[in-house]
Every structure is written in structure tokens, then in C-alpha cells.
């Protein structure tokens, strides 16, 4: 067994690989190098669909017995943005006033560093534990997520690989470590709507068909009607209009087309199919009323899911509370994560660093928090295998 992995130095090494999605630039090799030294068998997988970038992914495993505890995360990061606005090199991994700075430190290279450091200490102290530990690491979380965890999960299904529980190291806390553990996520459906009318002179509206009128009516009804009141584990589903567009350069011309895009973040009271049906019904109503034509495209990036607070979830919550002295809330708020794919093969929770600077200039994580997170992960591992 090699010497213990230090979570800070490991994370610094990872940050220095500028793996802006979808580029890897050696980030996955850093993970593989350290896991192989710990005795993990590493399976690198590359996936690419037509018109997309090739993505490098990793499934690594130590041991063959059950139960299998998996840690999941991603090495890709969002762009640094205006580098001149940073107080340090975004890929320099500098420590300043008790914080480690760098693009991806909180989302989520720091999480990877903490759980690999925790595993290295566990294996040093528990060489003959009964079970196995695995890592599912992708390079395609911040982008379209087509060739990443989704494909790895499909591979694991075919191989009949069993994962008994998974911890996703996403930054789950907003301002203090221990505030929140995520046990589910809302689903997401985006609708691209185009209403087709008939172009004409604004002085002769009866000889034209203005698409602006029906699209406004459609959006008004969709936005004004509450989808639900939420439930025990989820906030109410919510619709937000993100784009309204009429391409018209003249002020005296009724346009031929009007377009809009809107997204619904929905809870477990709905499905992609039920919302698609609901939206289509409203569109058809106004299509018939105004005798216009419509074109609709639906995109789903994840379905709503919930990991029920079973004994394992409650144990983890108890460990976090004890270590952080925070009232750790079980939550389902936020956007999407790769947990939306992993939940198809294993119950999973999300717990990681504080994320209030993720995707921002001067992204940073507290050194104290990183050491505490490593300690929490270590206690979770010990509890799981006991």
C-alpha cells in the first residue's frame, strides 16, 4: 500500500489540468495514477456520438465482494471566464488566506480529492474489509452529458455490475459545510415553440395572421396556472420562460413567425410524458382558436427522482450533523446532476463542499472544509462497511 493521499495536494494537482469541458488534458490520468497506487483496477472508457466530442470516463474498483460503495464525480469544469478578473491564476491552484483557489475546486475537483484521500486512509487501516469500493468519474458533466455517466451506467448494466450505494460529491452546501444533503433532484423539460402565422401589412390585419397573439396567450396560460403545490420532499414544480423571439426588422409588418423557449423543473408528481401532454394540449387549444400552425420540440435532461431516507441515508445524515454541528437538511432543490443517471442502478445521495463560488470568478474552497469533508467521507465508509 502506498502512502496516504493528501486531499489538498491531490486537488491542486487536478486543478492544474485545465480540463474545461469537453477537454480532459490529463485530468483523468491524475485520478488513475493515484487509484492504481492504491490497488484499484481502472477501466477507462471513451464514448463519442456523431457531432459530439470524445469523452474519457473511468470506472475503478477495489475488491470484488458485496456490498459495493461507489463515489461519483466529474473532472470537467466550466470555462474560467475573464482570467484578468481572477485574483489568482484559475488553474494555478494557489492557497491564499486559508482557501484553495481554482476553477473546479468546489465543483467538483475538491470533492474528488476528499473522497480519494478518505479511501486511501480507510484502506491503510482496513486491509481486509468485506466489500468493495468503486469510483465512477466522468469528463462530461458540465456539458451535454451524452457521453459521460449516462454511457458508463449503460456499460455497468450490461456487465451486471452491482452498486449498493453511491455518494456523488457535488457541492451540496450553499454557505456552510453540513447544511444540506441532497436525496433527489427535480426533473427538467424544455420546450421550444414556434407559432407560424401569415406576414402582412399592419394596416390590414384581416389579411394576415399575427403569431404574436397566440404565442402570448399560450405562454400566459402556461405561466399563470400552478402545476402543483409540491409534496413532502419537493417544492412546487415551476415554469420559467427563457426566450421570446420575433425576427422582424420592420415596424409596419405583421411577422410570419414567433418563437419561445420555456423550461419546467418538476417534482415526482409529474413525468416527462405527462408534462409533454399537458403543454401540447394548451398549444393545440390556441392553435385551433387562432387558426395558426405550431412547431414544438421537447427536450428532457433528467426525470424527478428521490432516494428514500433509509437506514444508510439516515446514518450518513447523522455523521454529517455530528461532524459539522449543522442541522443537515435532506433536500431535492437545485438543478440536475449525474445522480439522475446513477439512480437507475443504485440509491444515491449528494454531499460535497460549499458551492457558493462555483462557476464564478475566484472559485475557492476552505482548506478547513476540505479536511472536514475528508473526515466525513472516511466515517461514512467505516459506517457503511460495519
- Do 318 and 376 meet the contact criterion of CB atoms below 8 Å apart? no
User: What are the DSSP calls for 173-212, one per residue?
Assistant: BSSSTTSEEE-EE-EEEEEEEEEE-B-EETT-GGGSB-TH
Q: Is 141 a catalytic residue?
A: yes
- Of 13, 141, 287, 369, the active-site residue reads 141
The string of DSSP codes covering 258-322 is EEEEEEEEE-TT--HHHHHHHHHHHHHHHHHHHT-EEEEEEEEEE--EE----HHHHHHHHHHHH
Question: Coil, helix or strand for 64?
Answer: coil
Element housing 125 (H / E)? helix 110-125
- 52, 151 Cβ separation under 8 angstroms: no
First-to-last alpha carbon distance for the chain, in angstroms, is 22
The active-site residue out of 7, 13, 24, 76 is: 76
76 part of the active site: yes
Q: What is the DSSP string of 76-115?
A: -B-----GGGSSS-TTT--EETTEEE-TTIIIIIHHHHHH
What residues act catalytically? Answer: 76, 141
Amino acid at each position: 500500500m502506498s502512502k496516504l493521499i493528501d486531499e489538498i495536494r491531490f486537488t491542486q494537482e487536478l486543478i492544474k489540468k485545465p480540463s474545461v469541458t469537453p477537454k480532459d488534458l490529463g485530468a483523468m490520468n491524475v485520478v488513475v495514477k493515484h487509484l492504481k497506487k492504491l490497488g484499484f483496477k481502472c477501466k477507462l472508457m471513451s464514448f463519442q456520438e456523431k457531432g459530439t466530442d470524445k469523452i474519457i470516463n473511468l470506472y475503478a474498483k477495489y475488491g470484488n465482494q458485496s456490498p459495493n460503495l461507489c463515489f461519483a464525480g466529474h473532472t470537467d469544469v466550466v470555462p474560467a471566464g475573464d482570467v484578468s478578473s481572477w485574483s489568482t491564476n484559475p488553474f494555478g491552484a494557489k492557497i491564499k488566506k486559508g482557501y484553495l483557489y481554482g476553477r473546479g475546486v468546489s465543483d467538483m475537483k475538491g470533492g474528488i480529492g476528499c473522497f480519494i484521500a478518505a479511501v486511501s486512509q480507510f484502506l491503510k487501516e482496513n486491509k481486509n474489509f468485506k466489500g468493495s469500493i468503486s469510483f465512477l468519474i466522468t469528463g462530461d458533466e458540465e456539458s451535454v452529458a451524452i457521453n459521460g455517466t449516462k454511457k458508463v451506467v449503460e456499460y455497468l448494466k450490461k456487465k451486471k455490475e452491482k452498486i449498493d450505494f453511491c455518494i456523488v460529491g457535488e457541492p451540496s452546501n450553499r454557505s456552510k459545510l453540513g447544511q444540506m444533503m441532497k436525496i433527489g433532484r427535480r426533473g427538467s423539460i424544455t420546450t421550444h415553440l414556434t407559432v407560424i402565422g401569415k406576414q402582412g401589412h399592419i394596416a390590414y390585419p384581416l389579411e394576415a395572421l399575427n403569431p404574436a397573439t397566440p404565442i402570448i396567450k399560450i405562454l400566459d396560460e402556461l405561466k399563470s396556472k400552478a402545476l402543483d403545490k409540491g409534496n413532502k420532499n419537493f417544492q412546487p414544480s415551476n415554469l420559467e420562460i427563457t426566450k421570446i423571439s420575433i425576427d422582424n426588422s420592420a415596424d409596419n409588418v405583421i411577422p410570419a413567425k414567433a418563437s419561445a423557449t420555456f423550461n419546467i423543473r418538476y417534482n415526482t408528481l409529474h413525468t416527462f410524458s405527462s408534462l409533454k401532454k399537458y403543454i401540447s394540449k394548451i398549444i393545440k387549444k390556441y392553435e385551433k382558436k387562432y387558426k395558426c400552425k405550431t412547431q414544438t420540440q421537447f427536450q428532457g435532461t433528467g426525470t424527478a427522482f428521490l432516494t428514500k431516507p433509509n437506514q444508510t441515508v439516515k446514518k450518513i445524515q447523522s455523521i454529517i450533523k455530528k461532524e459539522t454541528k449543522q442541522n443537515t437538511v435532506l433536500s431535492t432543490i437545485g438543478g440536475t446532476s449525474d445522480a439522475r443517471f446513477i439512480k437507475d442502478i443504485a440509491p444515491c445521495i449528494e454531499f460535497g463542499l460549499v458551492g457558493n463560488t462555483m462557476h464564478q470568478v475566484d472559485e475557492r474552497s476552505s482548506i478547513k472544509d476540505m479536511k472536514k469533508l475528508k473526515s466525513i467521507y472516511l466515517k461514512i465508509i467505516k459506517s457503511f462497511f460495519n
